[in-house]
Chain A
Amino acid sequence: MADRAGAALTRPVDAPGDGELLPQVRIRHWGRVVAGLAVLAVLGLLFQAISRGDIDYASIPALLTQDVILEGLVDTIVLAVVAQAGAIVIGTVVALMRTSANPVLRWVSWAYIWVFRGLPVLLQILLWYNIALVFPAFSIPIPFTDAYLLDQPANVIMTGFLAALLGLGLNESAYMAEIVRAGLTSVDRGQTEAAKSIGMSPAKVLSRVVLPQAMRVIIPPTGNDFINMLKGTSIASVIGFTELIHAANALSSRSLAVMETLLAVAVWYMVVVSVANVGQYYLERHYNASIRPTGTRGSVWAKVGGSLRTPPFMRSSR
């Protein structure tokens, strides 16, 4: 060993790594070329099959803007947004109860999640929709007077929208409660202690220190759930609520262009979901910005482009 090292030192020109920098041959990514060709082939076949199918593609753009379809689109978005927003609010409250020191609140929140997560959404919607069978009227008397704050037959109040909203929203709130709880528990206990040590009240500790940091954990699954919610509104078609699927059925039962109408609706779902994706991206970036200040800035597209590029070639520094 010592001899060989000594020998190398006396003949520096021959030692590996000395002399001129050598040309470097990069790895060729043959797999990517093969995969690309395969995808092109499959797309080609698919395109051929689709173009031969018995579908009137030219009618689809007009269908997109049919009044019934647009009405369904608006109803879908309104239902999904209101149900998700309500679920976020209720879910946060339930999560706070679940993590509270009060054993009664903990138990109530556990039972709430157990029920509303356990029952199928369709069943929950049907239960709400048919509630008039059990309670013919809803009335809220104003105490010490003969007046009523609310006094209506149940089947007037419980519209398709309200039943769908309650079914979807309450079910989602149980999932949101678990998402928010995961976010709250992901924040280091030292953060709470530091916040308390500067005299913050429990509400301030939560709103200024814990929740902002929990957002990083809360937003991605919430975005997921919202996309599910957008699509899940289609279940409200069973009680006659005019969301997109119900609108498509109504339209195609008259025009008989079943596939064309369904494809038009598919386009709208993809548009809405894509918009939601972009929104989620910006929300995530907002809450990550301060945690990782040097993180990727720039548009969604820059980020997508970045992830498609090959990692930079690195030269070992010696």
Chain B
Amino acid sequence: MSAVAIEGAGEGAAQGEVLVRARGLRKQYGSLEVLRGVDLTVRRGQVVVLLGASGAGKSTLLRCVNHLEAADGGEIWVDGVPIGFRHDGDRLHELREKDVARQRAEIGMVFQRFNLFPHRTVLANVTEGPVQVRGVPRREAEAYARELLERVGLGDKVDTYPDRLSGGQQQRVAIARALAMRPKLLLFDEPTSALDPELVGEVLAVMTELAREGMTMIVVTHEISFAREVADHVVFMAGGVVVEEGPPEQVIGAPQHERTRAFLARVTA
């Protein structure tokens, strides 16, 4: 992988400062309580891995962070800004979708099913955000997009359409698309779960490289070895609450809770 620095990562402030703080997050669908008071702190430059069984509420938590889902209660602050709200004196005023979009531009997201735009080329997928949202001149956006695609090992695929790519290649384009916005924070929702086993490694390699360069990341994954090797902090969720959290050596190496142990036994079996 080349040495082009990812702009936005770890920029502007010292490492270790709090970038994401979620407090008392609640969310329910009908009568189903999916998040029941979740707290989460992510420091700048940290990689936080969310573990938990299917249905634990991991995706919902992640989607609240960029307001794809509106929480029913609690707050999320990213880089001093309340997500979905405008901070005015001692009140939070709910934002309109147009203004939420501005907040989202600072937060990248990578989806389990890639969600590349099938009607645009690989290059156009990556330049779409900068050009349409930030108003970056096309030439400049394309130059940076080519740089990013080169980084994720797809420099020769710029003019291809997504359906010509393998799952691993599509996911790497999706990562480049997120990076093109120079985000402060990247969210990954099971980025390798839809991939054939032999393609998982290439995506994890890109993510590992990003982590090394200081990108702040929240990652939902079942790849325990990735969590063990790359995460700074591991959060184990079950039933809409955080059951246990700490450094990977602790949560994965010496889990305190029965539910954590049972989960780890299942996924590493």
Contact = CB atoms under 8 A, between A and B. Distances in A.
- Chains A and B bind each other: yes
Interface of A: 188, 190-191, 193-202, 204, 208-209, 212-213, 290-293
Given A196-B68, A197-B178, A202 B97 contact: yes
The 5 lowest CB-CB distance pairs between A and B, nearest first, are A199-B105, A198-B129, A194-B115, A197-B109, A190-B115
Interface string B114-134: 011111110000001100111
B128 A208 contact: yes
B101 A196 contact: yes
B257 interface: no
B66 interface: yes
Contacts of A190: 111, 113, 115
Contacts of B117: 191, 194-195, 209
Given A198-B178, A290-B120, A293-B161, A204 B133 contact: yes
Nearest to B69: A193
Given A199-B133, A201-B98, A194 B104 contact: no
A194 B119 CA distance: 14
A100 to B, nearest CB: 11
Interface in B91-113: 97-98, 101-102, 104-109, 111, 113
A109 B136 CA distance: 38
Interface string B58-84: 000000001010000000000000000
Interface string B131-165: 01110000000000000000000000000010110
A72 B236 CA distance: 75
B181 interface: yes
Nearest to A191: B115
7 contacts: A194-B115, A194-B116, A194-B117, A196-B104, A197-B66, A199-B102, A200-B132
A193 B128 contact: no
A194 B107 CA distance: 12
Given A190-B113, A193-B111, A293-B164, A199 B119 contact: no
Among A193, A194, A201, A292, max chain B CB count under 10 A is at A194
Interface of B: 66, 68, 97-98, 101-102, 104-109, 111, 113, 115-121, 128-129, 132-134, 161, 163-164, 174, 177-178, 180-181
Among A193, A198, A208, A212, max chain B CB count under 10 A is at A198
Nearest to A188: B115
A197 B108 contact: yes
Contacts of B181: 198-199
A291 B104 contact: no
A292 B116 CA distance: 15
A171 to B, nearest CB: 32
Given A190-B111, A291-B118, A202 B161 contact: no
Given A190-B113, A293-B161, A197 B120 contact: no
Nearest to A216: B119
A20 B14 CA distance: 77
Contacts of A196: 66, 68, 101, 104
Among B68, B132, B163, B180, max chain A CB count under 10 A is at B132
Given A208-B132, A290-B120, A293-B164, A200 B101 contact: yes
Given A190-B111, A193-B68, A208-B128, A198 B118 contact: no
Contacts of A212: 119
B242 to A, nearest CB: 24
Among A199, A204, A209, max chain B CB count under 10 A is at A199
Contact of B111 (A194, A200, A204): A194
Contacts of B120: 290
Given A197-B66, A198-B178, A199-B102, 15 more contacts: A194-B117, A194-B177, A195-B117, A197-B68, A198-B104, A198-B180, A199-B101, A199-B104, A199-B134, A201-B133, A204-B132, A213-B118, A290-B118, A290-B161, A293-B163
